[in-house]
Amino acid sequence: MEETRTSEKQRKKQYRTIYELLFYTPRIYVKTVSSKLGVDPAVASRRMKEAFDLEYIAGPHIRKRSYSNMMEYVYFVNCKSSVKSFLQYIDDGTITYHAVMSGFANLWITSKEKIDIDGVVIEGPRSDYYISFAPDQSWETALQKMRKKMEAFNFSEYTPEGIIKTHWNEYMEWDSKDEILFREFKYSMRKKFSPIMKEHKISGEKLYEWLGRLPECCTITTSYFPERFSTYDSYLFMFETDYEDFVIDLFSELPTSSLFFTVADKLFLYAQVTGRLVRFVDIQDSRVGQLQIPLLVEDLLERGILKSEAHAILEYYWGKNF
C-alpha cells in the first residue's frame, strides 16, 4: 500500500513537470520530456497521455487574439430558458462557445459576429486572453499569499502593466489556410503534422510559417489542475476595478490555472476552485478555510481595490473548433 501511495505521488510530480514543460514549449519532444523526468521515452509518453486523459492538464490550446478581422463578441445574458437557448446555439455557425451558468447571468455566449438577443447583462468585443502559470502550492498557501499582497497594496505606487491586450483597431494577415490550421490545432497543438498537411494540401513551409507567427496571432494556453479538473467548481468572476493588473497578479496565485479577459471595461476571471473555499458544504462545519475566497473578495471591495464583483458557476458548456 505504501508503495502504491508513493507511486501515485511520484506520478503527480511527473504530471506537474510535464505541465511546466508544455506551458513554455507546447510542442516539446517526448524525448526531451523523458530526459527531464529521468524515464524512458515510452514511460514519458504514457505519463503525458495519462495527464491529459485524467484531466490534470488541458491543452496546449490556441485562441485567436482580438484583431479587427479575428474579433469575437461576448454576451452574458439572463434569458427565459437557458436550456432551450443552449440547445439552439449548438448548431449556430457563428457561435464558437456557449455555457449555461447560475449567477449574475444564466448564459455565456462567444460569437464571431454581433448577435441580437434579449436579456443582455454585459456585452462587447473581448480582449486577448491571458492564462496564469499555476504555482506549485496548496490552496491554503495561495490564500495566505493573496491576503498578504492585498494588505500590502499601495494605491499610490500602483503602475499599470497592461497584462491584457486588445488589438481591435489592428489588422492581422490571416488567410484560408491559416484558418484551417487554427481549426485543426485549436484544442490540441500537439497533433501530428503529416495527416493535416496531407488532408488539406498544406506545405511544410506554410505550416512552419504559421507556427512562427502563432504567438502573435493567437494566445496559447496550457492549464493545470493538481487534483484533476472534475474535482473543482468552474467559477466565472466579473470584477470592476481600476487596478486590473494587481487583481490579475493576485488571483494568479491560485494553484489551478486562471483565465482572464475583459469585456465592456469589466475584468473576467474563469477559475477552477475547490468547493470548500467558496461555499459551505456542511452548515455545521465551521473549520478554518471555508468561504475564504468570498471573504477575500469582500475585503477587496471594502478596501476599494474592487468597485464591484459578481460571479456565476458554470453548469455545462459547448465549444467548437472554429
Predicted TM-score of the model (pTM)? 0.92
Asked if residue 156 belongs to a domain, the reply is: no
Three cell numbers written together for 40: 524512458
Q: Is the dihedral of CA 154, 156, 161, 164 positive or negative?
A: positive
87 Cβ contact partners less than 8 Å away, ≥ 6 residues apart: none
Asked if residue 17 belongs to a domain, the reply is: yes
Per-residue pLDDT tens over the stretch 187-218 = 999 999 999 999 999 999 999 999 999 999 99
Query: Greater confidence, 115 or 321?
Result: 115
What does the pLDDT average to over 75-101?
A: 93
Which of 119, 20, 113 shows the shortest CA–CA distance to 74?
Answer: 113
Asked if residue 41 belongs to a domain, the reply is: yes
Cα distance between residue 62 and residue 167, in whole Å: 17
The pair phi, psi for residue 32, each rounded to 5°, is -70, -40
Domain count, the chain: 1
Per-residue pLDDT tens over the stretch 40-85 = 999 999 999 999 999 999 999 999 999 999 999 999 999 999 999 9
Unique residue bearing C-alpha cell 491571458 = 130
By residue range, what is the domain housing residue 36? 2-54
The pair phi, psi for residue 27, each rounded to 5°, is -105, 35
Strands (E), 90-180: 95-103, 107-111, 120-125, 130-131
Asked if residue 304 belongs to a domain, the reply is: no
Asked if residue 117 belongs to a domain, the reply is: no
Asked if residue 14 belongs to a domain, the reply is: yes
Asked if residue 6 belongs to a domain, the reply is: yes
How much is the pLDDT for 191?
95
Q: Categorize the per-residue pLDDT at 279 as very low, low, confident or very high, splitting at 50, 70 and 90.
A: low
How much is the pLDDT for 276?
63
User: Which of helix, strand or coil describes residue 39?
Assistant: coil
Asked if residue 43 belongs to a domain, the reply is: yes
User: Which of helix, strand or coil describes residue 261?
Assistant: strand
3-state helix, strand, coil in the chain (%, to 5): 40, 25, 35
Per-residue pLDDT tens over the stretch 108-161 = 999 999 999 999 999 999 999 999 999 999 999 999 999 999 999 999 999 999
